């Protein structure tokens, strides 16, 4: 019984103490408030509004970098556009006694690798984005990287067996709205080398024509130090990836300006430089 009375008294004492402390703090607060109080007459004209009214609309912000790209109305070209267009659903076909099958598609193999990373020659990506910007029209990549199996599926000819598509150094494409005027596309490619960074680089700025008649095009290709441009007319260069009736342009990389080396097809690079999943 004594213990219960002791606890009850302690509890009451705690409540009294805490309430006293609260009222002390309150008094102190009131003192500070009165000491700092300033009283001033406020005058205003009848035309002054007591409350300022702000627009409820959120102000316009400068565009983010990707929004500026969107303004061009076409997506920015990346190496993703170059992935192999093979597909295991594509029907097999007979070539002499051999049945030709397509690859399993880009979900089952990578792009070519360089330093353990997926790689497409950067100048191809830069050129295609330059075309989109210069011509203000979207580019369609019909053929970027081709794994060796898809390359053979597209075209079994000996000529195609050393295609630079297999090493990420060639691209076939169309520019929407320019399908019937590919010469304007070629002019736009050349304009890429008129940019400031190529000033004084004569080998990049001047293009020559390839005159030997040993290729699969009738129009003499154009080339400079870095790239080789082929124009396929409507009846030329048809294969599984370019199975349409329009002229198209192909760009090959001749020279890697980063490593200062010629770019040529090698069997090892084509067959052993990409991952299978
Ligand atoms: Zn493939």
Indicate whether 213 belongs to any domain: yes
Calculate how far, in angstroms, residue 187's C-alpha sits from the geometric centre of ligand 1.
32
DSSP reduced 3-state for 208? strand
Calculate how far, in angstroms, residue 150's C-alpha sits from the geometric centre of ligand 1.
5
Question: 39 is written with which tokens?
Answer: 């009283």
Round to whole Å and give the CA distance between 170 and 154.
15
Indicate whether 123 belongs to any domain: yes
Calculate how far, in angstroms, residue 83's C-alpha sits from the geometric centre of ligand 1.
8
Calculate how far, in angstroms, residue 10's C-alpha sits from the geometric centre of ligand 1.
84
- Closest to 117 in 3D by CA, of 276, 277, 275: 275
Calculate how far, in angstroms, residue 169's C-alpha sits from the geometric centre of ligand 1.
15
pLDDT of residue 20: 47
The domain tally of the chain equals 1
The parent domain of residue 130 ranges over 77-272
Calculate how far, in angstroms, residue 177's C-alpha sits from the geometric centre of ligand 1.
29
Calculate how far, in angstroms, residue 106's C-alpha sits from the geometric centre of ligand 1.
6
Q: In tens digits, what is the pLDDT along the chain, a chain of 277 residues?
A: 454 544 454 554 444 444 545 566 778 888 888 888 877 777 777 777 666 666 777 777 776 665 565 555 788 999 999 999 999 999 999 999 999 999 999 999 999 999 999 999 999 999 999 999 999 999 999 999 999 999 999 999 999 999 999 999 999 999 999 999 999 999 999 999 999 999 999 999 999 999 999 999 999 999 999 999 999 999 999 999 999 999 999 999 999 999 999 999 999 999 999 999 9
Calculate how far, in angstroms, residue 15's C-alpha sits from the geometric centre of ligand 1.
81
Indicate whether 52 belongs to any domain: no
Q: Degrees (nearest 5) of the Cα angle 163, 164, 166?
A: 85
pLDDT of residue 45: 75
Indicate whether 100 belongs to any domain: yes
Calculate how far, in angstroms, residue 88's C-alpha sits from the geometric centre of ligand 1.
9
Q: Give the distance from CA 61 to its chain's centroid.
A: 23
Calculate how far, in angstroms, residue 167's C-alpha sits from the geometric centre of ligand 1.
12
Residue 171 contacts residue 143 (beta carbons within 8 Å): yes
Residue in the structure block whose two tokens are 């213990």: 3
Question: 264 is written with which tokens?
Answer: 């040529």
Calculate how far, in angstroms, residue 249's C-alpha sits from the geometric centre of ligand 1.
21
Calculate how far, in angstroms, residue 81's C-alpha sits from the geometric centre of ligand 1.
14
Round to whole Å and give the CA distance between 5 and 254.
100
Round to whole Å and give the CA distance between 24 and 18.
10
pLDDT of residue 16: 46
Residue 157 contacts residue 236 (beta carbons within 8 Å): no
- Phi, psi angle pair for 97, to nearest 5°: -100, 5
Calculate how far, in angstroms, residue 102's C-alpha sits from the geometric centre of ligand 1.
7
pLDDT of residue 7: 47
Indicate whether 85 belongs to any domain: yes
Round to whole Å and give the CA distance between 175 and 135.
8
Residue 29 contacts residue 37 (beta carbons within 8 Å): no
DSSP string, 63-92: PPHHHHHHTTTSPPP-GGGGS----TTSPP
Calculate how far, in angstroms, residue 97's C-alpha sits from the geometric centre of ligand 1.
23
Indicate whether 259 belongs to any domain: yes
216: Cα within 13 Å, side-chain hemisphere: 15
Round to whole Å and give the CA distance between 179 and 271.
33
Indicate whether 60 belongs to any domain: no
Calculate how far, in angstroms, residue 241's C-alpha sits from the geometric centre of ligand 1.
12
Indicate whether 224 belongs to any domain: yes
Element (H, E) at 100: strand 98-100
pLDDT of residue 22: 56
């Amino acid at each position: 019984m004594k213990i219960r009375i002791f606890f009850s008294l302690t509890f009451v004492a705690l409540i009294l103490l805490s309430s006293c402390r609260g009222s002390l703090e309150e008094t102190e607060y009131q003192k500070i408030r009165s000491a700092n109080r300033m009283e001033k007459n406020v005058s205003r004209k009848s035309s002054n509004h007591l409350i300022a009214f702000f627009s409820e609309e959120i102000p316009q912000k400068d565009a983010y970098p990707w929004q500026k790209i969107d303004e061009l109305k076409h997506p920015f070209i990346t190496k993703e556009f170059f992935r192999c267009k093979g597909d295991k659903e594509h029907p097999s076909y007979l070539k002499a006694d051999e049945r030709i099958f397509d690859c399993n598609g880009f979900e089952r193999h990578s792009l070519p690798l360089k330093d353990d990373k997926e790689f497409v020659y950067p100048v191809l990506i830069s050129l295609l984005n330059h075309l989109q910007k210069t011509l203000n029209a979207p580019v369609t990549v019909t053929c970027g990287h081709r794994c060796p199996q898809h390359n053979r599926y597209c075209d079994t000819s000996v000529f195609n067996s050393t295609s630079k598509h297999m090493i990420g150094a060639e691209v076939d494409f169309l520019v929407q709205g320019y399908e019937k005027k590919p010469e304007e596309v070629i002019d736009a490619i050349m304009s890429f080398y008129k940019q400031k960074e190529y000033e004084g680089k004569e080998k990049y700025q001047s293009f020559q024509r390839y005159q030997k008649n040993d290729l699969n095009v009738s129009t003499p290709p154009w080339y400079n130090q870095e790239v080789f441009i082929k124009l396929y007319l409507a009846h030329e260069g048809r294969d599984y990836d370019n199975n349409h009736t329009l002229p198209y342009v192909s760009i090959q990389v001749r020279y890697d300006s980063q490593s200062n080396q010629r770019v040529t097809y090698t069997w090892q690079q084509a067959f052993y430089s990409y991952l299978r999943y």
